[in-house]
Homo-oligomer: A and B are copies of this chain.
Amino acid sequence: MVGPVTELSDITPEAYGVGARFTLSVYDSDYVSIILGALRSADADGLTIETDDISTWVTGSEQRVISYVRDVVAAAAASGAHLSVALMLSRGCPAGMTCELPSGVRALGADPVALEATGVRARAHWSLYPLLDGGSEGDHLTPILEAIEKAKSEGVYDGLDHGATRLDADLARVLETVANAWIGVGSVVQHVTTHVTISINSPGTPA
């Protein structure tokens, strides 16, 4: 099933379907200026960004994509407003739900991302999806359980809920845990996505 890999240096993150789709929700009547201000303050260098009325798609290198999400969310959080972020990271499926990759390329890892701390506490529900096919090797649960163990060792894990793992840490740590699990699975499984719903400044946040 694993074909020869062509020149990896020719494969751009965009061609490999690397990107983030996110919806930033601000629970405040002043949401337009908070969101627009947050988007303006973030460094979009090296990124392609498409926004519509439902969500925003960002593609580029893993480090640049995740840094951008960190910057936008941290800037919105600085308003003090309660906000939530629905974030999906996708790789290995460039166009919509169909996957037409450069010839010969199956799985393609990347360096882990590293982010500066934000001082913003983020609580989140997280799911990781290795999208195997029948006939391939391995199973989908092993990399998920490994990612949960890693989140524990990083001090980001906060518990196991139905259908999701709960995280609680600085926004930068939460995004690193989610992104680096996704990148790690991506080195062995072509199509992998991860979804995380992040809550910030909630009046219901536990002490």
Contacts from A to B (Cβ < 8 Å): 17, 19, 21, 23, 25-32, 50, 52-55, 57, 59, 82-84, 86, 88, 90, 93-99, 123-125, 127-141, 144-145, 148, 160-166, 191, 193, 195, 197-199, 202-206
Contacts and interface: CB of A to CB of B under 8 A. Distances in A.
Given A97-B160, A133-B134, 7 more contacts: A19-B163, A21-B125, A26-B27, A53-B202, A54-B125, A96-B163, A97-B163
Contact of A84 (B17, B59, B86): B86
B25 A88 contact: no
A27 B160 CA distance: 29
Nearest to A35: B27
Number of copies: 2
A193 B53 contact: no
For the complex of A and B, 7 pairs with smallest distance between CB atoms: A25-B25, A96-B160, A86-B86, A53-B204, A90-B163, A133-B139, A134-B136
A108 to B, nearest CB: 16
A28 B27 contact: yes
A113 to B, nearest CB: 18
A191 B25 contact: no
A95 B128 CA distance: 15
A93 B163 contact: yes
Nearest to A87: B86
A27 B55 CA distance: 14
A141 B144 CA distance: 20
Given A25-B84, A54-B166, A54-B199, A96 B161 contact: yes
Contacts of A123: 53-54
A203 B32 contact: yes
7 contacts: A27-B27, A28-B29, A31-B82, A53-B202, A95-B162, A96-B162, A99-B141
